[in-house]
Amino acid sequence: MSLVIVGSLAFDSIETPRERRERIVGGSGSYCALAASFFTRPKVVGVVGRDFPEETLSFFRRRGIDLKGVEVKPGKTFFWEGRYGEDPNLRTTLRTELNVFQDFRPRLPESYRRADILFLANIDPDLQEEILNQAKNPRLVAMDTIELWIKTKRRALLEVLRRVDIFFANDQEVKMLTGEVNLIRAGRALLEKGPRWVVVKKGEHGVLVLGRDQVFGLPANPTEAVTDPTGAGDCFAGGFLGSLDRESRVDGRSIRRAAAFGSVMASFAIEDFGLERFRRLKRKEIEERLLVFKKLVRF
Q: Which residues bind its own copies (CB under 8 A)?
A: 86-87, 181-185, 188, 202, 204-206, 208, 210, 214-220, 222-224, 226, 253, 256-257, 259-260, 294-299
Closest CB to its own copies among residues 98, 292:
292
Closest CB to its own copies among residues 104, 273:
273
Closest CB to its own copies among residues 118, 210:
210
Closest distance to its own copies from the beta carbon of 245 (Å): 17
Closest CB to its own copies among residues 249, 294:
294
Please, are residues 242 and 35 in contact by the beta-carbon 8 Å criterion?
A: yes
Closest distance to its own copies from the beta carbon of 95 (Å): 25
- The full 3-state SS of the chain, as one line of letters, equals CCEEEECCCEEEEEECCCCEEEEEEECHHHHHHHHHCCCCCCEEEEEEECCCCHHHHHHHHHCCCEEEEEEEECCCCCEEEEEECCCCCCEEEEEEECHHHCCCCCCCCHHHCCCCEEEECCCCHHHHHHHHHHCCCCCEEEECCCHHHHHHCHHHHHHHHCCCCEEEEEHHHHHHHHCCCCHHHHHHHHHCCCCCEEEEECHHHCEEEEECCCEEEECCCCCCCCCCCCCHHHHHHHHHHHHHHCCCCCCHHHHHHHHHHHHHHHHHHCCCCCCHHHHCCCHHHHHHHHHHHHHHHCC
Closest distance to its own copies from the beta carbon of 113 (Å): 32
Closest distance to its own copies from the beta carbon of 181 (Å): 5
Closest distance to its own copies from the beta carbon of 292 (Å): 9
Closest distance to its own copies from the beta carbon of 171 (Å): 9
CA angle 158, 159, 162 (to 5 degrees): 85
Closest CB to its own copies among residues 34, 208:
208
Closest CB to its own copies among residues 284, 299:
299
Closest CB to its own copies among residues 138, 203:
203
Q: Residues 6 or more apart from 134 whose CB is under 8 A from it?
A: 107, 108, 113
Q: Give the pairing type, strands 91-97 and 20-26.
A: unpaired
Closest CB to its own copies among residues 32, 259:
259
Closest distance to its own copies from the beta carbon of 293 (Å): 8
Closest distance to its own copies from the beta carbon of 122 (Å): 24
